[in-house]
Chains A and B, each alone.
Chain A
Amino acid sequence: DAGITQSPRHKVTETGTPVTLRCHQTENHRYMYWYRQDPGHGLRLIHYSYGVKDTDKGEVSDGYSVSRSKTEDFLLTLESATSSQTSVYFCAISEAGGDNNEQFFGPGTRLTVL
Chain B
Amino acid sequence: QQPVQSPQAVILREGEDAVINCSSSKALYSVHWYRQKHGEAPVFLMILLKGGEQKGHEKISASFNEKKQQSSLYLTASQLSYSGTYFCGTEDLRGGTSYGKLTFGQGTILTVHP
Contact = CB atoms under 8 A, between A and B. Distances in A.
Interface stretch (A14-22, A40-48, A63-71): A40-48
B106 A58 contact: no
A66 to B, nearest CB: 14
Interface in A14-46: 31, 33, 35, 40-45
B49 A42 contact: no
Contacts of B47: 99-102
B104 A42 contact: yes
Interface in B80-106: 87, 89, 91, 99-106
Given A99-B49, A100-B47, A103-B32, A43 B101 contact: no
A103 B107 contact: no
Contacts, number: 57
Interface residues of B, number: 23
Interface residues of A, number: 28
B105 A42 contact: yes
Contacts of A94: 100
Contact of B99 (A50, A102, A107, A108): A50
Interface of B: 2, 30, 32, 40-44, 47, 49, 52, 87, 89, 91, 99-107
24 contacts: A35-B104, A40-B106, A42-B87, A42-B104, A42-B105, A43-B42, A48-B99, A58-B101, A94-B100, A97-B100, A99-B47, A101-B30, A101-B47, A101-B100, A102-B32, A103-B32, A103-B89, A103-B100, A103-B102, A105-B41, A105-B42, A105-B43, A107-B41, A108-B41
